[in-house]
């Protein structure tokens, strides 16, 4: 099979929350596969630093600063980019946050922030990009779900709820937009060594539990998510729609 099936040459990918962690790793991997990258976040200093790092690797990179939870701001930013710079062929909805507190003590404002950041942002950015993709009859949308899409852990019940919603919103996107030429899927990472998980990585007891619980016996490395993103962004996945791909070392496959 020709490797051109997985090439992203000639495409442009917007990745939300991509100034660090999984988002930046995906940006580098997608760029290496040939895509032009549009980095997004709210901190322009971090965005510029990330863009410089990608550019040094020979990746054509843009920055597009907006708050993914602001519907009007998202629409203006995406519409402006499409009009002034060029089309967005691929969207990866990666922006997300975590908050750990026992459910009986979970603050209502933290719950609302989780809903806005982890679910509403997927709707806002997905809709803004899809409106342009639909006109062209083509587009790829990848939403970042989680191992918590299928499983729960103590202290993160609202996060678990948001990631379950991401998977179902992905199914809804596919149901509405597949007939219009879009491929809408999700990637569900397991436990990865990222800034979001820094406290867990630093906890020897948790890391020991995770290594025993995960068939692969270790934390995931962010570069190991790139293959799934390239597959779902490329011509190799033209008939894949509404699917959640778990990249988790087998943790959802075993008890």
| CB distance 223 to 196 below 8 Å | no
What DSSP element (H or E) covers 42?
none
Determine the distance from the C-alpha atom of residue 59 to the mean position of all C-alpha atoms in its chain, rounded to a whole number: 19
| Candidates 81, 159, 191, 231; catalytic one | 159
d(CA 166, CA 19) in angstroms, rounded, equals 21
Q: How far apart are the first and last CA of the chain?
A: 36
The CA-CA-CA angle for residues 194, 195, 197, to 5°, reads 70
Would you give the DSSP letter of residue 60?
A: -
In the chain, DSSP assigns E strands to: 12-15, 36-41, 61-65, 90-93, 139-144, 182-189, 244-247
Indicate if 159 belongs to the active site: yes
In angstroms, rounded to a whole number, what is the distance separating the alpha carbons of residues 203 and 199? Answer: 6
Show contacts of 241-244: CB within 8 Å, 24+ apart: 241/174, 241/178, 241/183, 241/184, 241/185, 242/170, 242/171, 242/173, 242/174, 242/175, 242/178, 242/184, 242/185, 243/185, 243/186, 244/145, 244/149, 244/167, 244/170, 244/185, 244/186, 244/187, 244/188
Residues with a known catalytic role: 159
């Amino acid at each position: 099979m020709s490797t051109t099936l997985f090439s992203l040459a000639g495409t442009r990918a917007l990745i939300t929350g991509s100034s660090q962690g999984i988002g930046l790793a995906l940006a580098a991997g997608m760029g290496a596969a040939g895509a032009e990258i549009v980095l997004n976040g709210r901190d322009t200093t971090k965005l510029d630093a990330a863009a410089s790092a990608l550019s040094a690797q020979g990746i054509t990179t843009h920055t597009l600063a907006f708050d993914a939870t602001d519907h009007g701001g998202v629409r203006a930013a995406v519409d402006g980019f499409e009009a002034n710079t060029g089309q967005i062929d691929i969207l990866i909805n990666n922006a997300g946050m975590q908050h750990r507190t026992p459910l009986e003590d979970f603050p209502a404002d933290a719950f609302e922030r989780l809903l806005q950041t982890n679910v509403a942002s997927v709707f806002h950015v997905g809709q803004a990009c899809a409106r342009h993709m639909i006109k062209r009859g083509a587009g790829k949308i990848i939403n970042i779900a989680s191992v918590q899409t299928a499983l729960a852990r103590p202290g993160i019940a609202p996060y678990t709820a948001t990631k379950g919603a991401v998977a179902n919103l992905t199914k809804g996107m596919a149901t509405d937009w597949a007939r219009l030429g879009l491929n809408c899927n999700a990637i569900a990472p397991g436990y990865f060594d990222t800034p979001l998980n820094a406290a867990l990585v630093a906890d020897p007891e948790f890391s020991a539990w995770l290594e025993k619980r995960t068939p692969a016996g270790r934390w995931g490395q962010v570069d190991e998510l790139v293959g799934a993103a390239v597959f779902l962004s490329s011509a190799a996945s033209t008939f894949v729609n509404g699917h959640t791909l778990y990249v988790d070392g087998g943790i959802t496959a075993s008890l």
